[in-house]
Chains A and B, each alone.
Chain A
Amino acid sequence: MRDVAVIGVGMNKWGEIWEAAIRDLLAESVLLALDDAGIDSVEAMYIGCMSSGLFTHQEHLGSMGPDYAGICPTPGTRVESACASGGAAIRAGYMHVASGLADIVMVAGVEKMTDVDGGGATFALATAADQEYEVYNGVTFPGLYAMMANHHMNKYGTTRDQMAQVAVKNHLNGSKNPLAQFRMKVTLDQVKNSVMVSDPLTLLDCSPITDGSAAVVLCSMDKAKELSKKRLVKIIGSGHASDTIQLSQREDISYLKSTELAAKQALKMAGRKIADIDFAEVHDCFTIAEIMVIEALGIAEVGKGGKATTDGITAFDGKFPVNTSGGLKSKGHPVGATGVAQIVELTRQIRGDVEKDRQLKKANIGLAQNMGGSGGSSVVHILEGM
């Protein structure tokens, strides 16, 4: 397996983008990434997208992606793993280059969520859960994560304040990110007093509905050294694992086993331990998710993710910064784009290329964790600056 580098990144400003259709969003980030890489063609394109069909009645992004980026006949493939679609697309692109099948591959992620109303979006998002045993019985995503939160609170004494602190931290980080959807800072009280969605999760515990896209150019290391004028960022680890789709079938409903296993694979491939990692972008679809993820990754002990957050371990200036981009909470969550945007953030931090007031001093090795549904799939990538 050859070494693979990230040589270009692109991302648009996320939010409610009324004037852009899914084809516009996708093309925008792809073109930005090509520009950043200093190239005008790739050999293949992977597109992470959870459900362009339900949200916009458009499938066949494998054709539309290259078409609207102006690069037909480059082949395109849509990759889907619910909210881990982006991460899974990165892994597919990585394998395509690492295997030697191609030297340069584009991996993009996109979701256009505002062409349906709130009910339509909730319906489409719920397809990430088990239709027969979960959704048929009336549960939606906030409901599933609320159950995970209640279990975590009962088992470990995790508090509302600790969960809310995740939102406070991520909004503080996002306030400095010009591409984030929600750049306002929030306080603990605002989070706790926002309208109830599914007990104990309130509105500000939940990631939003967002339109957006992101793209990265993956390149074989040899070719990357020729092409790239910027600091090379190498993918040193990739991991991917599944777990039961139904939350009720998990061994422990507040432990993300798929994340633990995906991370172990990626760390093993990278020859590193979690303590060697400088920072991470994780899947905070709900505040409780970030707490469970940092436990599964080993950044915090199991049951102590809440305390690690309020102790500031994962703050921007903490021992292990998590979600410097603002995370899903503040940056937004255009589902299929999220996993790719995580790689964009890691690359830019490692290159020293982000806005000065949010540039980490120590950013040589970063980890991205992207997750589908209630944890039925997890993808982890580790990137290192050369």
Chain B
Amino acid sequence: MIGIVGYGAYIPRNRIKVEEIAKVWGADAPSYKRGLMLQEKSVPSPDQDTITMAVEATKNAIKRAGINPAEIGAVYVGSESHPYAVKPSGTTLAEAIGATPDCHCADLEFACKAGSEGMFIAMGLVKAGEIKYGLGVGADTSQGAPGDALEYSASAGAAAFIFGKENVIAECLFTHSWMTDTPDFWRREHQFYPSHGGRFTGEPAYFRTIMGCGTALLKKSGMKPSDFAYAVFHQPNGKFPMTAGKQLGFTEDQMKQGWLCPTLGNTYSGASPIGLTAILDIARPGDKIFMVSYGSGAGSDGFIFQATERIKQVQDKAVHTRAMLDSKSKKYLDYGTYTKYRGKIKLRGE
């Protein structure tokens, strides 16, 4: 049996509301909230980045896995906001958790699906017998250009998954990846903010890809949507995953536990992975879980997991995702503080 041995997430405590951003740009907040099905998003503090959040999420995963981190044979961090263009986030993460030096490491990029890629590769190496445990992390502190539609949703968070063959808490039954060359969203080297194709990011990109992957995964597995207890999709806003999920045949009930975007925003490489952690927090043995990520450019990684008996023993060994999302120590920022934290203000010397 191959699958998830430990999982964990991290969500920073700062938030900013749609109204606060809309007020500055003269936008109509109610229509943004309705249209995007989004109320507020997470914001990283100035001392947080993809690496720090990856470490927090991984520590939670190790608590649940109950393993010696030195036995982790591969560390993959997927992000579109790696602090360095050259120097992997993964080496710092591996050092911080004690997985070095006998460890493979690579940083991954594929817009918002870089996290699920790490999961896919880590699991593949375990399956091949190359490593005992593999770590795949999705983490991002992405930016949206000021006043752009994406500024309302680009947020921060991380999810970490340790794969192995022993003490599996969620078996991976099937995977399927689906990918085309579709330029819906991109960022050139040295650009601070990403560019996107407006409405082109919808039907011809997100929906076409999620449907392509989801349909193929269902076919490959011979399963129907009603076989699943939970489903989670990439969530760039609240609306898209609900629409795509329903198109595939899933219900709101199946999707709502993993549907975090309305109060979290779009954590990019963390999006569907963090949604998966929220599901694993309450999944019961035998529950089947359907996950399809999405990364612009464009592609989707699909997974079918099934919770094992052991999941009950580990769920409470680390903080639950929704507890972090709804935390009482959430701090709401004004737009000025938000821009300071996000490095959007031109400082002297720049």
| A interface residue numbers (CB < 8 A to B) | 16, 18-19, 114, 117-118, 195-196
Most buried by B among A16, A18, A196: A18
Q: Given the complex of chains A and B, what is the CA–CA distance between A117 and B197 in angstroms?
A: 7
Stretch at the interface among B105-113, B199-207, B284-292, B319-327: B199-207
Known: A16-B203, A18-B203, A18-B204. A117 touches B198 (CB 8 A): yes
Q: Are B28 and A18 in contact (CB-based, < 8 A)? A: no
* Minimum Cβ distance to chain B for residue A111 (Å): 16
Q: Are B199 and A16 in contact (CB-based, < 8 A)? A: yes
Q: Are B28 and A195 in contact (CB-based, < 8 A)? A: yes
| B interface residue numbers (CB < 8 A to A) | 28, 31, 197-200, 203-204
Q: Given the complex of chains A and B, what is the CA–CA distance between A19 and B31 in angstroms?
A: 29
The closest CB in chain A to the CB of B149 belongs to: A118
* Minimum Cβ distance to chain A for residue B25 (Å): 14
B residues within 8 A CB of A118? 198-199
The closest CB in chain B to the CB of A119 belongs to: B198
Q: Given the complex of chains A and B, what is the CA–CA distance between A117 and B148 in angstroms?
A: 12
The closest CB in chain B to the CB of A114 belongs to: B199
Q: Given the complex of chains A and B, what is the CA–CA distance between A18 and B198 in angstroms?
A: 12
Kindly list the 9 A-B residue pairs having the minimum CB-CB distance in the complex, ordered from nearest: A117-B198, A195-B31, A18-B204, A195-B28, A118-B198, A196-B28, A16-B199, A18-B200, A114-B199
Q: Given the complex of chains A and B, what is the CA–CA distance between A42 and B31 in angstroms?
A: 50
B residues within 8 A CB of A196? 28
B residues within 8 A CB of A117? 197-199
Q: Are A114 and B200 in contact (CB-based, < 8 A)? A: yes
Q: Given the complex of chains A and B, what is the CA–CA distance between A114 and B31 in angstroms?
A: 22
List 5 additional contacts besides A16-B199, A117-B199; criterion CB under 8 Å: A16-B203, A18-B204, A117-B198, A195-B28, A195-B31
Q: Given the complex of chains A and B, what is the CA–CA distance between A196 and B29 in angstroms?
A: 12
The closest CB in chain A to the CB of B197 belongs to: A117
Q: Given the complex of chains A and B, what is the CA–CA distance between A362 and B252 in angstroms?
A: 49
Q: Given the complex of chains A and B, what is the CA–CA distance between A195 and B200 in angstroms?
A: 21
8 contacting pairs across A/B (C-beta < 8 A): A16-B199, A16-B203, A18-B203, A114-B199, A117-B197, A117-B199, A195-B28, A195-B31
A residues within 8 A CB of B203? 16, 18
Q: Given the complex of chains A and B, what is the CA–CA distance between A196 and B199 in angstroms?
A: 20
* Minimum Cβ distance to chain A for residue B184 (Å): 11
Q: Given the complex of chains A and B, what is the CA–CA distance between A16 and B199 in angstroms?
A: 9
The closest CB in chain B to the CB of A195 belongs to: B31
Q: Given the complex of chains A and B, what is the CA–CA distance between A362 and B199 in angstroms?
A: 41
Q: Given the complex of chains A and B, what is the CA–CA distance between A97 and B188 in angstroms?
A: 54
* Minimum Cβ distance to chain A for residue B79 (Å): 26
Q: Given the complex of chains A and B, what is the CA–CA distance between A134 and B197 in angstroms?
A: 28
Q: Given the complex of chains A and B, what is the CA–CA distance between A16 and B200 in angstroms?
A: 9
Q: Given the complex of chains A and B, what is the CA–CA distance between A196 and B28 in angstroms?
A: 8
B residues within 8 A CB of A195? 28, 31
Q: Given the complex of chains A and B, what is the CA–CA distance between A118 and B197 in angstroms?
A: 10
B residues within 8 A CB of A19? 204
Q: Given the complex of chains A and B, what is the CA–CA distance between A68 and B280 in angstroms?
A: 55
Q: Given the complex of chains A and B, what is the CA–CA distance between A114 and B204 in angstroms?
A: 12
Q: Given the complex of chains A and B, what is the CA–CA distance between A117 and B200 in angstroms?
A: 9
* Minimum Cβ distance to chain B for residue A105 (Å): 36
The closest CB in chain A to the CB of B31 belongs to: A195
The closest CB in chain A to the CB of B30 belongs to: A195
B residues within 8 A CB of A18? 200, 203-204
* Minimum Cβ distance to chain A for residue B196 (Å): 8
The closest CB in chain A to the CB of B182 belongs to: A18
A residues within 8 A CB of B199? 16, 114, 117-118
* Minimum Cβ distance to chain B for residue A296 (Å): 33
Q: Given the complex of chains A and B, what is the CA–CA distance between A195 and B204 in angstroms?
A: 25
* Minimum Cβ distance to chain B for residue A334 (Å): 15
Most buried by B among A19, A118, A195, A196: A195
Q: Given the complex of chains A and B, what is the CA–CA distance between A162 and B204 in angstroms?
A: 37
The closest CB in chain A to the CB of B34 belongs to: A195
Q: Given the complex of chains A and B, what is the CA–CA distance between A117 and B150 in angstroms?
A: 14
The closest CB in chain A to the CB of B202 belongs to: A16
The closest CB in chain A to the CB of B208 belongs to: A18
B residues within 8 A CB of A114? 199-200
Q: Given the complex of chains A and B, what is the CA–CA distance between A114 and B203 in angstroms?
A: 13
* Minimum Cβ distance to chain B for residue A336 (Å): 21
* Minimum Cβ distance to chain B for residue A20 (Å): 12
A residues within 8 A CB of B197? 117
Q: Given the complex of chains A and B, what is the CA–CA distance between A118 and B199 in angstroms?
A: 9
B residues within 8 A CB of A16? 199, 203
Q: Given the complex of chains A and B, what is the CA–CA distance between A196 and B26 in angstroms?
A: 12
* Minimum Cβ distance to chain B for residue A21 (Å): 14
* Minimum Cβ distance to chain B for residue A314 (Å): 30
A residues within 8 A CB of B31? 195
Q: Given the complex of chains A and B, what is the CA–CA distance between A117 and B198 in angstroms?
A: 6
The closest CB in chain B to the CB of A197 belongs to: B28
The closest CB in chain A to the CB of B196 belongs to: A117
Q: Given the complex of chains A and B, what is the CA–CA distance between A18 and B28 in angstroms?
A: 28
* Minimum Cβ distance to chain A for residue B180 (Å): 13
Q: Given the complex of chains A and B, what is the CA–CA distance between A16 and B197 in angstroms?
A: 13
* Minimum Cβ distance to chain A for residue B348 (Å): 32
The closest CB in chain A to the CB of B195 belongs to: A117
Q: Given the complex of chains A and B, what is the CA–CA distance between A85 and B197 in angstroms?
A: 28
Q: Given the complex of chains A and B, what is the CA–CA distance between A195 and B32 in angstroms?
A: 10
* Minimum Cβ distance to chain B for residue A100 (Å): 47
Q: Given the complex of chains A and B, what is the CA–CA distance between A19 and B197 in angstroms?
A: 14
Q: Given the complex of chains A and B, what is the CA–CA distance between A268 and B319 in angstroms?
A: 81
* Minimum Cβ distance to chain A for residue B146 (Å): 15
Q: Given the complex of chains A and B, what is the CA–CA distance between A19 and B200 in angstroms?
A: 11
* Minimum Cβ distance to chain B for residue A149 (Å): 19
A residues within 8 A CB of B198? 117-118
Q: Given the complex of chains A and B, what is the CA–CA distance between A48 and B69 in angstroms?
A: 68
Q: Given the complex of chains A and B, what is the CA–CA distance between A117 and B204 in angstroms?
A: 14
* Minimum Cβ distance to chain A for residue B273 (Å): 29
* Minimum Cβ distance to chain A for residue B147 (Å): 11
Q: Given the complex of chains A and B, what is the CA–CA distance between A16 and B31 in angstroms?
A: 22
* Minimum Cβ distance to chain A for residue B22 (Å): 12
A residues within 8 A CB of B200? 18, 114
